[in-house]
Structure 1
Amino acid sequence: EEWQNILSRGDAISEGELEDVAKEYFQWIISRPFDCGNTIRTAFGGAPVMRAAKESSVSMATTMTKSARNSGHSKANGALMRESPLFLFCHSLVGSEYGRRVIHQIAALDCRLSHPNPTCVAASMAYVTAGAALVASAECTADARVELALRVAKEALSVAGGEGWEVKGWLEDAETATNSSEIGAWPMAGYVKHAFTLAFFMVKNKVPFEQAMHDVLILGGDTDTNAAIVGGLLGAFWGQDALPRAWVQTVRTCVPNVGSKVPRDPSVYAPSLLYEYAPILMERSPCHDCLSGSPPEPAKGLHCKKTVCVAEDDAAGLS
């Protein structure tokens, strides 16, 4: 479910059009994924969306966003699980307050396609901005990168206001917990709080990737989605070279239509496509010159360019 939902948006989001992303989500839901949460099913596969698909004059993104409001009470984790491609697409926007506001808007728009609850939106804003910061600061020291990720996440939650303060409490839990069991994955498996807190806990404590996956899975609960969310943020911290080689090989060689109850089109849903989309998303990451308006100068030490340069001494000095 997780990687197929991610793949469904990879090419569309590289074009930067929310309408294209919404249409890809619709194509994913009608492909009969083997698992899908109720909140996402309501938003992506509801009757209004099905009607919109038959009328070219109707916006799929607008219809999907409205349909999602039927699950406005839900604080499920289904939006956060698909956000990791935005780390790559947004990484060159991290260097200024203006750029980070754009990241907040992108994350919020995508989240509201399925999970309009303000708590979910705030969590997505913080998660995506932190992940983008980790990608952008790859040349910094580990301590500087952790500090940067936490700083921009807190900034995002302050911008979110309201329910942002609820999520800020989760972030504080991640900073103060001594082990993952203190955070847990119950009650209410699928509650976005669990995966969000675990993800930041793992980054804060620089837990090795394989160990983190083990720790998340033995907690139980919504194991696959929690692992996807934790793996996304922690993967941005450690980078591809730190992933277990056997795991990488499994992903690269997986053929999704073999032995599946619902065969998948490998030209669309093969996990190996992740390795094709990643450099495209990085290359198409917008810089300030691409944005309309008059953005302020980038913060010292971070520059919004196609090649992002982060000075270690200045990495924690963002406004």
Structure 2
Amino acid sequence: MIRFAIVGCGHIAKKHIEAIRSINHAELVAFCDNNPARLEEFKDTYKIKGYLSLEEMLENEPQIDAVNICVPSGLHANLAIKAASYGKHIIVEKPIALTIEDADSIIEACEKNNVKLTVVHPNRFRPAVIALKEAMDNNLFGKISHANATVRWNRNQAYYDQAAWRGTKDMDGGVLMNQAIHNLDLLLWLVGPVEEVQAYTATRLRNIEAEDVAVATLIFSNGALGVIEAASTIYPKNYEESLSIFGETGSAVIGGTTANWIKHWVFEEVDETDAVALIEKINLDPYGISGHQQIITDFVEAIQQNRSPKVTGEDGKNALKLVLAIYEASERKKPVKLKHL
């Protein structure tokens, strides 16, 4: 049995609680939050021990094996490093951190204390994404010409006004760091490392510090080109999340309001009947098992089997590096090489 504790009793913590309670060999034993009212609400709802600080929780609950970091992004590093120093395995919500220095500090703390680390990028476990990864691994695309990642969603002003930290550069970031980073993780996972970025970002419609719209062009290390479009300004609600890959012998697009459906699937080596059958199969259950449940299930197994999780700290850092490169390219108004980050 792997015993979990959660830091931060906000909206995302509820997904972690639901996932942990649905997994064999996983048990939720405690959570902590520095907001007394929110802590009491969670204690009453979930009937689990609650504490006002991470240190108090770890001192009083030595049986904890793993800690899930579910606080604003700017707080990830301090809390993850503290939990790792107690010998606890770490699950950290996306993004891993807001700076490369903080990401490195988390990774180093986990390595130093010989504990596992995973970052919550659950979209890798979507059925359509798994099919896309298999197509890539089987070289069905041949030589890649280009790839597109698009997030056209709505986060209205009321969303940002829920808490003072939302939309700030020090605690949250904008549409790239908060919403689109999942799609960027998929882009890197599927097509490979990015060598160079040119980009523009803007804060057009929301009263926040960070960007609410961004566009970028990429050169991948394999020579393929890429395009990123991300916006939280779409009226009046979420419209599209998509990932498109085009190659010498294949083309594929997954999309929908969230990227859960196969919209286009044509490969030289795949019979049309088989392609239609795959699309129909995924359409029957496009969401599959909850991504958070799969992330935590994999983490339990990684601890039990003493192996690396499927999503590593370095994976989280790579997605962060791409976002930061987009920010820098936009600020400098010139291309940025990722190697120097």
Taking structure 1 as the reference length, what is the TM-score of the superposition? Answer: 0.28
Instruction: State which structure, 1 or 2, has the greater radius of gyration over its C-alpha atoms.
Output: 2
Taking structure 2 as the reference length, what is the TM-score of the superposition? Answer: 0.27
Q: Which is richer in helix?
A: 1
Q: Which is richer in strand?
A: 2
